[in-house]
């Protein structure tokens, strides 16, 4: 018998599998609203001008590619801290944040999960219901039992906040709670700052371990606004985790640029935590790659490039908002009389459309419009050319 005869076929990744189906579809009018990627109004993945400028600078003074330190480029880690916590924040000035470069936001989550597993092997993990598909898989593969807290309220098209709060209050001390810092994936519904205040209070009282996933900073209300929740956790004096992704905000998906930051109570603890994060990294992939993080560090630490980045990110944010408004208008024009305000209340790349599995499948088979079976569509892939067709198709499957 061969070594691999007993290997079972694993299921396809639900979202990346959808991409394969999309690529194979011969329909010339097909639209991919599945994967969470920002496209410009021409349907193209943008290369940000600030990124191209940083790369030109790097090319003008080419460097040999030695190994990076295990925790990555120091200037990058510092830039991440500045962005997430504020360079002048008390935690950064008193050296109470351990930040490591990671392979995208996913890498940050995974390094954090592996470290937490060593720290508290019997802790449970709570993720939102629903959440980004990979949260469950990633924490499960790190060895945790993963459960959910209520989040989406389908009937009221919003957040089941009372249920969420009750679940957090009832969770045993030490439970790890994964929270979407902004632009909740997949629903698009974010907590208000007053609601965050209650979450912070509940987490503190119950002794939970908050793990904030920040994959879309700048896509909701703005860079500072989307990061405001971090300051609320800081103000409460909590120890917590933050994973950062620059995949979307720098349109650097394939470069795998992200980070993990762990806020600790003292500088001494921070040094120890950092030493443990380095062991996790060393035993997984040894050290991170050079290019993407150098690009991001250059942009964030060069005032002119940083200003350009903020403007370009603002442009993406505004275009997504315009597409939300246009979708509402086009759906109304196509004869939909439902209250559609939820589409513009949602934040970030996604809209939980409320469409059923059958309706999503009809969108695919009859119209070549690919969204996720859950009803999630990527608003950041709508543009002035495809929006009418998408709205007409949605109206058709809703009839």
**CA-CA distances (angstroms) from residue 380 to 200, 228, 367?**
30, 23, 19
The residue behind tokens 């905000």 is 249
Which of 114, 132, 190, 226 is flagged as catalytic? 132
| Cβ neighbourhood burial of 300 (10 Å; 0-12, 13-18, 19+) | buried
Nearest approach, Cβ of residue 330 and ligand PMP (Å): 26
Nearest approach, Cβ of residue 277 and ligand PMP (Å): 17
* Residue 312 to residue 57: CA distance in whole angstroms: 19
> Closest CB to ligand PMP among 34 and 36?
36
Nearest approach, Cβ of residue 105 and ligand PMP (Å): 3
Nearest approach, Cβ of residue 337 and ligand PMP (Å): 32
Which of 213, 226, 309, 347 is flagged as catalytic? 213
DSSP count for the chain of H helices, then E strands: 16, 13
Closest CA to 23 of 11, 7, 35: 35
> Closest CB to ligand PMP among 105 and 218?
105
Is-catalytic flag, 213? yes
Closest CA to 390 of 329, 348, 345: 329
> Closest CB to ligand PMP among 228 and 340?
228
- Count of CB atoms within 10 A of residue 132's CB? 23
Read off the DSSP letter of residue 369. Answer: E
Instruction: Supply the angle between the helices 357-367 and 387-398 in degrees, to the nearest 10.
Output: 130
Nearest approach, Cβ of residue 242 and ligand PMP (Å): 12
> Closest CB to ligand PMP among 180 and 319?
180
* Residue 75 to residue 101: CA distance in whole angstroms: 10
Read off the DSSP letter of residue 35. Answer: S
| Contacts with ligand PMP, residue ranges (CB under 6 A) | 36, 104-106, 132, 180, 185, 213, 215, 245, 247, 258
Nearest approach, Cβ of residue 396 and ligand PMP (Å): 29
Closest residue to ligand PMP, judged by C-beta, is: 104
Q: What pairs with residue 32 in β-bridges?
A: 370
> Closest CB to ligand PMP among 16 and 173?
16
- C-alpha angle 13-15-16 in degrees, rounded to nearest 5: 65
Which of 77, 248, 309, 347 is flagged as catalytic? 248
Is-catalytic flag, 153? no
Is-catalytic flag, 388? no
- Count of CB atoms within 10 A of residue 233's CB? 22
> Closest CB to ligand PMP among 105 and 368?
105
Residues with catalytic function: 132, 213, 248
């Amino acid at each position: 018998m061969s070594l691999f005869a007993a290997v079972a076929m694993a299921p396809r990744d639900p979202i990346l599998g959808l991409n394969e189906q999309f690529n194979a579809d011969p329909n010339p009018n097909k639209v991919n609203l599945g994967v969470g990627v920002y496209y410009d109004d021409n349907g193209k993945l943008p290369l940000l001008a600030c990124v191209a400028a940083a790369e030109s600078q790097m090319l003008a003074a080419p460097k040999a590619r030695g190994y990076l330190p295990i925790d990555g480029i120091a200037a990058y880690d510092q830039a991440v801290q500045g962005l997430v916590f504020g360079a002048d924040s008390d935690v950064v000035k008193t050296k109470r944040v351990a930040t490591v470069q990671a392979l995208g936001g996913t890498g940050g989550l995974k390094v954090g999960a592996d470290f937490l597993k060593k720290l508290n092997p019997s802790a449970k993990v709570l993720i939102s219901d629903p959440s980004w598909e990979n949260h469950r898989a990633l924490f499960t593969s790190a060895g945790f039992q993963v459960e959910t807290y209520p989040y989406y309220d389908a009937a009221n098209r919003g957040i089941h906040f009372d249920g969420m709060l009750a679940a957090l209050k009832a969770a045993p001390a030490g439970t790890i709670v994964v929270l979407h810092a902004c632009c909740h994936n997949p629903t698009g519904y974010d907590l208000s700052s007053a609601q965050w205040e209650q979450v912070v209070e509940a987490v503190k009282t119950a002794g939970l371990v908050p793990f904030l996933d920040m994959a879309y900073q700048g896509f909701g209300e703005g860079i500072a606004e989307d990061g405001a929740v971090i300051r609320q956790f800081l103000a409460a004096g909590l120890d917590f985790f933050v994973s950062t992704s620059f995949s979307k905000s720098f349109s650097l998906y394939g470069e795998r640029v992200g980070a993990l930051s762990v806020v600790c109570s003292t500088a001494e603890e921070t040094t120890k935590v950092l030493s443990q994060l380095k062991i996790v990294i060393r035993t997984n992939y040894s050290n991170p790659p050079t290019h993407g993080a150098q690009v991001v560090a250059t942009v964030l630490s060069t005032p002119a490039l940083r200003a350009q980045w903020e403007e370009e990110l603002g442009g993406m944010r505004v275009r997504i908002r315009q597409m939300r408004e246009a979708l509402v208008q086009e759906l109304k024009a196509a004869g939909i009389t439902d209250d559609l305000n939820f589409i513009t209340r949602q934040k970030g790349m996604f809209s939980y459309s409320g469409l059923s599995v059958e309706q999503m499948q009809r969108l695919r088979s009859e119209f070549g419009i690919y969204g996720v079976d859950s009803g999630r569509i990527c608003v950041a892939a709508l543009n002035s050319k495809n929006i009418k067709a998408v709205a007409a198709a949605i109206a058709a499957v809703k009839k």
